[in-house]
Amino acid sequence: MNFHKSYLIPINVPAERVPLLTGVFGCTEGQLPFTYLRIPLGTTKPLIKDYAPLICRIERKLSASSVFLQYSGRLQLINSVISSLPTYLMCTLSLSKTVIETIDKFRKNCLWRGSDSIAKGYNLAAWDKVLMPKSKGGLGINDLQLQNEALLMKHLAKFYNKAQVPWVQLIWSTYYQNKVPHLAPAKGSFWWKDVLKLFDKFRDLTDCIPGERDTVGLWVDQFEEAPLSVMFPRLFNFAIDQTISLKASVDIW
Q: CA angle 223-226-232, nearest 5°?
A: 110
| Cβ within 8 Å of residue 192, ≥6 positions away | 171, 186
Q: How many residues does the chain have?
A: 253
**Residues 100 and 107: beta-carbon distance below 8 Å:** no
The amino acid that residue 176 corresponds to is: Y
The end-to-end CA distance of the chain, in Å, is: 56
**Residues 207 and 215: beta-carbon distance below 8 Å:** no
pLDDT tens-digit series, residues 148-199 = 999 999 999 999 888 899 999 999 888 887 777 777 788 888 999 999 999 8
pLDDT score at 144: 94
pLDDT score at 246: 72
Instruction: Count Cα atoms within 13 angstroms, Cβ side, for 188.
Output: 21
Spatial distance between the Cα atoms of 46 and 10, rounded to a whole number of angstroms: 19
pLDDT score at 89: 92
Spatial distance between the Cα atoms of 139 and 137, rounded to a whole number of angstroms: 7
pLDDT score at 40: 86
Answer left, alpha or beta for residue 137, where phi above 0 means left and psi between -120 and 50 means alpha. left
DSSP code per residue over the chain: --GGG-EE--SS--GGGHHHHHHHHT-EE--SSEEETTEEESSSPPPGGGGHHHHHHHHHHHHHHGGG--HHHHHHHHHHTGGGTTHHHHTTS---HHHHHHHHHHHHHHHHHTT-TT-----SS-HHHHTS-GGGTS-----HHHHHHHHHHHHHHHHHTT-S-HHHHHHHHHH-TTS-GGGS---S-HHHHHHHTTHHHHHHH-----SSSTTSBTTTS-SSSS-HHHHSHHHHHT-S-TT-BHHHHHHH-
| Cβ within 8 Å of residue 67, ≥6 positions away | 114, 115, 116
pLDDT score at 195: 93
pLDDT score at 88: 92
pLDDT score at 119: 58
| Cβ within 8 Å of residue 114, ≥6 positions away | 66, 67, 69, 74
Which stretches of the chain score pLDDT less than 50? none
pLDDT score at 117: 54
